[in-house]
């Protein structure tokens, strides 16, 4: 890993990024779900529903949801795996995990396990999960290549990786609108609703620094996955990458 990396549009020491990202999510955790609804006009729920439907998760499967935050994916995966399966909701941020635990309990969902760790160092044995998911979290990881190799390691042969993340649109008018919205309105709404304009400025910048669809696909293949394909959602504003461990 390089000695420096990006935190939004700023160059920072690689060792500092994790702490800086932690500060962002400590700040936004309490209103994370509300802000997702407001900022995406509710579309994040449709994107996540598509991700879950694409995962092929069945009764009895073991699923690891990385950077699972407030528990949206874990809640739905738990319904699919049933009593004989297992879902682990993980996040590096304790405040986000606390929100996830609260949300699942409020929805009457029990049986989901919780774990706090970095995706760059997953504390599980090789070849044990049928599916690993990460939704809107990969762009915040310092060493994405290492994290992808760790996800590969813990998947069973034939296991699926699902990466749902903001991406790049090549529709000119949509790109212009999205840029205006991201850098002019999104931080202002973050300030008004969550009292934290700076964190939402970072989140907008982090989206622009994230690899585009083809670059991420090649990163996934370079990590060792045998197959990777992606599907654009909302004109490419979001993409779902699905990979299989051979």
CATH code for the domain in which residue 28 is found: 3.40.50.150
User: Which band of pLDDT confidence, cut at 50, 70 and 90, is reported for residue 90?
Assistant: very high
CA 200 from centroid of its chain's CA atoms: 16
Considering only 28-37, 159-168, 197-206, 225-234, which range has the smallest mean pLDDT?
Answer: 28-37
- Please state, for a pLDDT cut of 70, what percent of the chain lies above it: 99
Q: What is the pLDDT of residue 2?
A: 65
Cβ neighbours around 208 below 10 Å, total: 16
Report the pLDDT averaged over residues 85-103. Answer: 95
Q: Write out pLDDT tens, residues 120-163.
A: 999 999 999 999 999 999 999 999 999 999 999 999 999 999 99
Cβ neighbours around 88 below 10 Å, total: 19
pLDDT at 102 over 60: yes
Q: What is the pLDDT of residue 37?
A: 87
- Please state, for a pLDDT cut of 90, what percent of the chain lies above it: 76
pLDDT at 30 over 90: no
* Residues in the chain, overall count: 246
Q: Which structure tokens are listed for 110?
A: 């029990």
Q: Which structure tokens are listed for 45?
A: 């729920």
pLDDT at 39 over 60: yes
pLDDT at 236 over 60: yes
User: Which band of pLDDT confidence, cut at 50, 70 and 90, is reported for residue 242?
Assistant: very high
Measure the CA–CA gap between 126 and 124, rounded to whole angstroms: 7
Residue 134 is part of which domain span?
4-244
Q: Write out pLDDT tens, residues 52-81.
A: 999 999 999 999 999 998 999 999 999 999
Measure the CA–CA gap between 68 and 65, rounded to whole angstroms: 5
pLDDT at 1 over 60: no
Q: What is the pLDDT of residue 11?
A: 81
Q: DSSP character for 227?
A: E
Measure the CA–CA gap between 134 and 159, rounded to whole angstroms: 14
Q: What is the pLDDT of residue 147?
A: 98
Structural domains in the chain (count): 1
Give strand pairing partners of 88: 64, 113
Contact 132, 154 (CB under 8 A): yes
pTM: 0.93
Give strand pairing partners of 61: none
Query: Backbone dihedral region of 57: left (phi > 0), alpha (psi from -120 to 50 degrees) or beta?
Result: beta
pLDDT at 218 over 90: yes
Q: What is the pLDDT of residue 36?
A: 85
């Amino acid at each position: 890993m390089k000695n420096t990396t990006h935190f939004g549009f700023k160059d920072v020491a690689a060792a500092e990024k994790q702490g800086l990202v932690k500060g962002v999510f400590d700040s936004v955790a309490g209103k994370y779900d509300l802000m997702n609804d407001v900022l995406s006009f509710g579309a994040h729920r449709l994107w996540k529903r598509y991700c879950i439907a694409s995962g092929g998760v069945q009764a009895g499967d073991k699923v690891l949801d990385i950077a699972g935050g407030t528990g949206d994916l874990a809640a739905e995966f738990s319904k699919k795996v049933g009593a004989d399966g297992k879902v682990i909701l993980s996040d590096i941020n304790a405040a986000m995990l606390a929100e996830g635990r609260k949300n699942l309990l409020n929805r009457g969902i029990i049986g989901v396990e919780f774990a706090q760790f970095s995706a760059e160092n997953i504390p599980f044995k090789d070849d044990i999960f049928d599916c690993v998911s990460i939704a809107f979290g990969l762009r915040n990881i310092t060493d994405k290549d290492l994290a992808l190799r760790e996800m590969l390691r813990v998947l069973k042969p034939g296991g699926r990786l699902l990466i749902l993340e903001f991406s790049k649109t090549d529709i000119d008018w949509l790109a212009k609108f999205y840029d205006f919205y991201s850098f002019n309105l999104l931080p202002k709404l973050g300030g008004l609703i969550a009292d934290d304009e700076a964190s939402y400025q970072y989140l907008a910048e982090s989206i622009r620094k994230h690899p585009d669809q083809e670059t991420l696909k090649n990163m996934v293949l370079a990590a060792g996955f045998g197959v990777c394909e992606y599907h654009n959602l909302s004109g490419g504003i979001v993409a779902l990458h699905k990979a299989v461990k051979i």
